[in-house]
Chain A
């Protein structure tokens, strides 16, 4: 029989989590130096799913690169495409019809809800509760069905085009979106009773991994990670783009900085996204969904352009340096989860491993988006 290994009192060991571990939700590897159940230090190792999106951006023409953006973050793909099309439209001075811009916002917000729902289910599953995932997926399914009927795909959409949209939506989509809103509100109440108000759940998260606003700033964190720590910043409101200034919505901010605060921010954000969708559907103008005047061959004039958007995972920035050619000279993608994740190494020191995994869940990591 094997005898258990005897550790010296101050001896540490290395625990390797991932790259194929369900808790990391993807191919992320974390090397943890452990003292018993406590983490002494941790090091996140990335790059397992690196696909050279930035390099591809340099060798592909502008329209050819469109579909790459939805391969970065598979849960909230449309937000990334939105940033890209806005950037190229800004660079080439393409006028987008109003209807197209409104529909883009509707789509992006629905996608954000779908992404948050999936995160919600997966996060609660990380903590050991399985059923909420099923409820969340059921609600998410309605969104995916709606988006599929319009875009033709369920996850990696390639729907936005420079100057507008691939095709217009039909009445069926509008009706489906309208019936979805009250349905989702009802579900939110259910989640509140089932998960948010659950004493075990709250005790498991309150006070876990408190992040200070300074730390969030140091690492450039955004999304619920920053807003859970009291940083009142949302690109949609602070650096308005698209038609967001037309809508009345709040930016939920919590000050505790712990895992529960991050959870609360995202749950609130679902409600705010519903509000935006509701208003956008009310105001939806008629008209074309594709710009009438659009250069045949998209070529950005020489210059340096930047566009930031608020995606489901935080502020996504995309920078284009053009020398006037058919392809960009340089395309830099600033992915929000990359910054959010780097908090982990510092913040998890001294934490119990179970708490650290709960903390990691609250960061909402999507690995292909980190590695891009």
Chain B
């Protein structure tokens, strides 16, 4: 009998303690932001999908060595290039990223010795079509140039 009432008493006490904590949290300022009306800036090292980098004139740094293509564990990267007549170097004509398979591991960025690719800070990427994630990075770069 005594145990019964003492249980009720202690139950009530712990209930009040809990409600006290909740009330204190209730009057604290919010810690969340109301996305999409407010957004956070991504940190400098944020790993969005990769992006081609360009030199001062807007031409891609990429020399088509193919190291990134080979380093990628999921074969996300496909590169096309042409070799203009009389030139020794290849010129990049297309760089597609299959983002549906990318795991943002960073192997490609690490393997590139020419600072030609880096992580973007893109994160608003929702789509219902798979094709939207086959990203033509070369075209993106061209568009940026314009």
Instruction: Report which A residues bind B (CB closer than 8 A).
Output: 60, 63-67, 71, 131, 135, 138, 141, 148-153, 156, 158, 166-167, 190, 193-194, 197-200
Contact = CB atoms under 8 A, between A and B. Distances in A.
List of 6 A-B pairs having minimum Cβ-Cβ separation, nearest first: A64-B73, A152-B47, A67-B105, A158-B105, A152-B45, A198-B14
A152 B44 CA distance: 8
Contacts of B7: 199
Contacts of B110: 166
B17 interface: yes
B47 A194 contact: no
B100 to A, nearest CB: 15
Given A65-B73, A197-B17, A149 B25 contact: no
Given A194-B18, A197-B17, A149 B43 contact: yes
B114 interface: no
A190 B45 contact: no
A65 B17 CA distance: 49
A153 B47 contact: yes
B21 A190 contact: yes
B17 A194 contact: yes
A197 B119 CA distance: 47
A64 B107 contact: yes
A148 B25 CA distance: 26
B103 interface: yes
Given A148-B43, A166-B110, A199 B10 contact: yes
Nearest to A200: B11
B83 to A, nearest CB: 28
Nearest to B48: A152
Nearest to A190: B21
Given A193-B17, A194-B17, A166 B103 contact: no
Interface of B: 7, 10-11, 13-15, 17-18, 21-22, 25, 31, 43-47, 71-73, 103-107, 110, 119
B103 A197 contact: no
A138 B105 contact: no
A141 to B, nearest CB: 8
A66 B14 contact: no
Contacts of B17: 193-194, 197-198
Nearest to A197: B14
A71 B103 contact: yes
Contacts of A194: 17-18, 21
Pick the most buried of A63, A141, A150, A167: most chain B CB atoms within 10 A of its CB: A63
B14 A67 contact: no
Given A63-B71, A152-B47, A193-B17, 8 more contacts: A64-B107, A67-B103, A67-B105, A148-B46, A149-B44, A158-B104, A199-B13, A200-B15
A66 B105 CA distance: 8
Given A152-B45, A193-B21, A199-B14, A60 B73 contact: yes
Contacts of B105: 66-67, 158
Nearest to A198: B14
Given A64-B73, A158-B106, A149 B14 contact: no
Contacts of B18: 193-194, 198
B21 A150 contact: no
A149 B45 contact: yes
Q: Which of A64, A135, A167, A190 has the most CB of B within 10 A?
A: A64
Contact of B22 (A131, A138, A153, A198): A131
B25 A200 contact: no
Given A166-B110, A197-B14, A153 B21 contact: no
Contacts of A148: 43, 45-46
Nearest to B103: A67
A197 B10 CA distance: 10
23 contacts: A60-B73, A63-B71, A64-B72, A64-B73, A64-B107, A65-B73, A67-B73, A67-B107, A71-B103, A131-B25, A135-B25, A138-B31, A141-B31, A148-B43, A148-B45, A151-B45, A153-B47, A158-B106, A194-B18, A199-B10, A199-B11, A200-B14, A200-B15
A60 B105 CA distance: 14
Contact of A166 (B11, B15, B106): B106
Nearest to B107: A63
Contacts of A135: 25
A165 B96 CA distance: 28
A198 B7 CA distance: 11
A138 B7 CA distance: 32
Interface centre among B73, B104, B107, by most A CB within 10 Å? B73
Contacts of A64: 71-73, 107
